[in-house]
Amino acid sequence: MPRRLHVYLDHLSPRRVFLLIWIPLFAVFFATAQKSTVHSLDTYTNVLTAWSLGVHHTVYADPTPELANPDDFGVISWFITTPSRRLVSQYPPGAALVTAPFYLASPVAHQVTLPEGATRLPGEVTVNLPSLVPAAAVASLVTSLAIALLGLLFLGFLPTTRAIAGAYIAGLGTSAWAVASDALWQHGPAMFWIALALYLTTRDHRLWAGLAFGMAILTRPHLALVAASVGIAVTIGKKALRPLLEIGAGSLLGLAALVAYNQAVFGSVSVSGGYGLGFTNQLLHSHLGWYLRNILGALFDPRLGLLVWSPFLIILIPGLLKAWKAAPPWARGAAIGGLLYLLVQLKANRFSGGEGFFAYRYPLEALTAAAPLLALSWKEWVAENSLRMKLFVGGTILAVIGQAIGAIVL
């Protein structure tokens, strides 16, 4: 990098650093996001829910029964029948809530005739099909904002140029690009709320951080583990109970909102809601051998493995002990919470995570939570060692190429 540019970047304000990360990443993400083709049941279920919520002010799929009918399960969306005999997404409402205002601003749906065989109904089916563009915009927006917030967190450990580079690696060298920003998964919104909560924690706005964690819980409920771990770690670090109470209060509001939603929609006071008891039983009763194989698959599977498609992480893992010693309490707590979240996820569900996406998706929230500790690992373990640095750069190049193929080609 030319010295003049290096000096210029190192004197940027945090606000300009944020914009320098966010705006280009949003442009790249939105340019490559899915805007015309449905690839996944999961994402289009979120799209239909967000459209119904934004345009018709209901979470139920009444406006699109042809797409949501359980008789068509496995075709284009994933809805279930509630005790009141209405159709609703099985997923928590967080991703749809974030997206609904965009559909309110762009409510147009197009009549589309699906050919025979596209659904399990006989013959052709004409349906109102919401545009994917608002959903693509939201996925790109929240994911790029999450990465820009990570860049601000990195400024606490790294020089400005390195913090910016680290953010771009997080954005382009992980499935943040090929998955979270590509379509309306739950991952992009969840990543944003985690990153925002951590940033607010570092600014001592802990009640607001708790509220951000609450939104994360409303998106993926077991992210409560990250909220709890950060709250406990900061309380221990400050030797005061107040941080735990403040983060806990905001987080519990999100948990309460989730339970209230599940009670209203599914008739059950629970956090599992539309998932029922299937994942809970799997979490409690899956065999150890299956669990270990699931973890190994999540890391090393040739098609979906985290370390296969983001190999630079392999170079950072040995440095985590040194990073731990240098890390502030909130970063330690976030990393522990992210690891617990991922371990619970892999105990409750197969690592493959369904179809319609490239590489991995379940580790994304854990990576977001652990990103500050990983940045410290680079500083403490990689930066001053030429061989490790070359391996890290090589792993990063491979990761970016892989994610680019997934986002642009596949």
Confidence at residue 73, expressed as pLDDT on a 0 to 100 scale: 44
Q: Shortest CA distance to 244 belongs to which of 232, 256, 227?
A: 232
For 117, 206, 222, 263, the CA distances from 225, given in Å and listed in that order, are 43, 16, 6, 22
Neighbours of 108 (CB within 10 A): 11
Residue 194: predicted pLDDT: 98
Neighbouring C-beta atoms of residue 109, cutoff 10 Å: 16
Distance CA(12)–CA(218), nearest Å, equals 35
Closest CA to 274 of 83, 110, 92: 92
Q: For residue 410, what are the CA distances in angstroms to 120, 202, 320, 354, 402?
A: 27, 38, 33, 16, 11
Mapping DSSP onto H, E and C, the string for the chain reads CCHHHHHHHHCCCHHHHHHHHHHHHHHHHHHHCCCCCCCCHHHHHHHHHHHHHHHHCCCECCCCHHHHCHHHCCCCCCEEECCCCCEEECCCCHHHHHHHHHHHHCCCEEEEEECCCCCCCCCCEEEEEECCHHHHHHHHHHHHHHHHHHHHHHCCCCCHHHHHHHHHHHHHCCHHHHHHCCCCCCHHHHHHHHHHHHHHHHCCCHHHHHHHHHHHHHHCHHHHHHHHHHHHHHHHHHCCCHHHHHHHHHHHHHHHHHHHHHHHHHCCCCCCHHHCCHHHHHHHHCCHHHHHHHHHHHHHCCCCCHHHHCCHHHHHHHHHHHHHHHCCHHHHHHHHHHHHHHHHHHHHCCCCCCCCCCCCCCCHHHHHHHHHHHHHHHHHHHCCCHHHHHHHHHHHHHHHHHHHHHHHHC
Is 197 in contact with 289 (CB distance < 8 Å)?
no
Distance CA 362, CA 174 (A): 12
Per-residue pLDDT of the chain (410 residues; tens, 9 = 90+): 677 777 778 789 999 999 999 999 999 999 999 998 777 878 988 998 999 999 989 999 876 665 666 555 445 667 888 888 888 999 999 999 999 999 998 877 776 666 666 566 677 767 667 888 999 999 999 999 999 999 999 999 999 999 999 999 999 999 999 999 999 999 999 999 999 999 999 999 999 999 999 999 999 999 999 999 999 999 999 999 999 999 999 999 999 999 999 999 999 898 888 887 777 788 888 899 999 999 999 999 999 999 999 999 999 999 999 999 999 999 999 999 999 999 999 999 999 988 889 999 999 999 999 999 999 999 999 998 999 999 999 999 999 999 999 999 87
pLDDT at position 162:
96
pLDDT at position 74 is 43
Q: Considering all CA atoms of the chain, what is the largest pairwise distance in Å, rounded to the nearest integer? A: 67
Look at residue 42 in the predicted model and tell me its pLDDT: 87
pLDDT given for residue 187 in this prediction: 98
Burial label for 364, CB within 10 Å (0-12, 13-18, 19+), is: buried
**201 and 333 in contact (C-beta within 8 Å)?**
no
pTM: 0.95
- Angle (nearest 5°) at CA 406 between 404 and 409: 85
Bridge partners, residue 81, by sequence? 87
Task: Classify residue 373 as exposed, middle or buried by CB count within 10 Å of its CB (0-12, 13-18, 19+).
Answer: buried
